[in-house]
Amino acid sequence: MNEWIKLSLPHKSGNEMKWIEEAYRDDWFVPLGPAVDEFERRLQRFLGTDRPVVALSAGTAAIHLGLIMLGVKAGDEVICQDLTFAASANPICYQGAQPVFVDSETDSWNMSPELLRLAIEKRLEVTGRLPRAIVAVDLYGMPARLDEIRTIAANYGIPVLEDSAEAMGSEYKGVRCGLWGDYGVMSFNGNKMITTSGGGALICPDEEAARRVKFLSTQAREDRPYYYHKVIGYNYRLSNISAAIGCGQIETIDSRIARRREIHRIYSEHLADVASVTVHDNVSADYASNFWLTTILIDPACGLTPDQVRLQLLDRRIETRLLWRPMHLMPVFERAPYYGGGAGQALFERGLCLPSGSSLTDAQISRVIEALKDILG
Ligand SMILES: *Cc1c(COP(=O)(O)O)cnc(C)c1O
């Protein structure tokens, strides 16, 4: 019986225990500690930025605090990419605000700048107000058309939060993803580029904002000898032990990014002669995806839906996944305004995510390719 090939598993560097043992030896079990500071410094160095990075308990927490920092409040509207994971949109609702979903363009699969402009104009017409913020996403590691999105947003004076949870190491026009918005989001969930066994980070515009984010993420305790609160706080800071895992993980980040890109290259090369398969690729030289997941589109003319392909691969002990389902098709968001022409839905109906974890061997990738050729060739 063949071994299981999974979509995207955590990949140990081998140095995690050294960091954890150090934290253990020095009794740093508490939420804050030296590993948190060190992890933040290393993230900042990795991004090549002076902007402060605050380590948090999840990417979702980072989105939530980013929206709070941008002043999103009950009754506001926030524009969000339609084709994404629900975690991009849920924190909008935590704030009592209303998500407004904007469809993708078919080349990057991310937010269409034209539809973004249309959505802003329409909301202004309908509500008399501008949306409070824009959540742009770099889906599967592919950068969005970030310069255009930023220019449009700036023309209306609307801030941008870049959800780059899947895009650690991706670059657009030579600048790392996460640095394109007023705030940027990273995720260290178990299936992402690196993991802290659950965690995230918020890239802030300046030190003052970072101090505020740290304050809000540690229960918003005012600096007094007794507990005293003026605003609502959150328990969103990353624990020192989780940060220790992150310090061990980030040591090997460059090779992890290189391996995911290599896996994408192998798939592209070997699936090029399968007529019904198109491997999603960088749109132009401006784009440098980390290829967190290699994704393909399957031509409906082949007679198989992505889900039928998924089930046949599952029989061979190969795990794949359908694309993110557009948010406006979710029962929980069915009343939210949506601007688009169904591009995201069309992608969802044709797309499949292939096993892409950096720990996969060439032999395992070959097995996936052979299976795909057998099913679709
Ligand atoms: C993973 C992910 C998140 C959430 O990150 P968590 O660390 O799991 O909370 C947000 N947005 C996108 C697009 C993601 O893929």
Whose CA is closest to atom 6 on ligand 1?
59
**DSSP assignment letter at 359:** T
**Helices 146-156 and 113-127: angle between axes, nearest 10 degrees:** 20
In the chain, the percentage of residues whose pLDDT exceeds 90 is 95
Ligand 1 proximity of 170 Cβ (cutoff 6 Å)? no
Intra-chain end-to-end CA distance of the chain, in Å: 24
Residue 103 · residue 343 · CB < 8 Å: yes
* Any atom of ligand 1 within 6 Å of the Cβ of 28: no
Range 312-320 average pLDDT: 98
Q: Is the CB of residue 72 less than 8 Å from the CB of residue 129? A: no
What pLDDT is recorded for position 148? 98
> Which atom of ligand 1 lies closest to the CA of 138?
13
Q: Which amino acid belongs to residue 188?
A: F
Does this model's pTM top 0.75? yes
Can you list the alpha helix ranges (DSSP code H) found in 28-181? 34-47, 59-69, 90-94, 113-127, 146-156
- Ligand 1 pocket member 66 (CB < 6 A): no
Give the confidence band of 31 by pLDDT, cuts at 50, 70, 90. Answer: low
- CA torsion sign for 89, 93, 94, 96 is positive
- CA atoms within 13 Å, Cβ hemisphere of 347: 25
Show me where the domains of the chain are located: 16-250, 253-376
Confidence tier at 239 by pLDDT (50, 70, 90)? very high
Q: Is the CB of residue 87 below 6 angstroms from any atom belonging to ligand 1? A: yes
Ligand 1 centroid vs 272 CA: distance in angstroms?
Answer: 31
How many angstroms does the Cα of residue 192 sit away from the middle of ligand 1?
Answer: 9
Q: Return the DSSP state at 142.
A: P
pLDDT at 23: 87
pLDDT in tens, 267-300: 999 999 999 999 999 999 999 999 999 999 999 9
Atom of ligand 1 nearest to the CA of 88: 11
Q: Is the minimum distance from the CB of 292 to ligand 1 under 6 angstroms?
A: no
- The residue whose CB lies within 8 Å of the most ligand 1 atoms, and thus the one to mutate among 189, 191, 234, is 189
Residue 110 Cβ inside 6 Å of ligand 1? The answer reads no
Q: Do domains 16-250 and 253-376 have the same CATH topology?
A: no
Residue type, 95: Q
Instruction: Give percent of the chain above pLDDT 70.
Output: 99
Q: Tell me: the pLDDT tens digits for 98-157?
A: 999 999 999 999 999 999 999 999 999 999 999 999 999 999 999 999 999 999 999 999
CATH number of 253-376: 3.90.1150.10
SS3 label, residue 58:
coil
- Which ligand 1 atom is nearest residue 63's CA? 10
Q: Given this model, what pLDDT does residue 359 score?
A: 96
Q: Is the CB of 58 under 6 A from ligand 1?
A: yes
CB 295 within 8 A of CB 353: yes
Task: Identify the band that residue 32 occupies on the pLDDT scale cut at 50, 70 and 90.
Answer: confident
Pairing status of strand 183-187 against strand 160-163: parallel
What's the residue count for the chain? 377
- The pLDDT score that the predictor gives to residue 26 is 81
For the segment(s) 16-250, the CATH number from 3.20.20.70, 3.40.1190.10, 3.40.640.10, 3.10.20.600 is 3.40.640.10
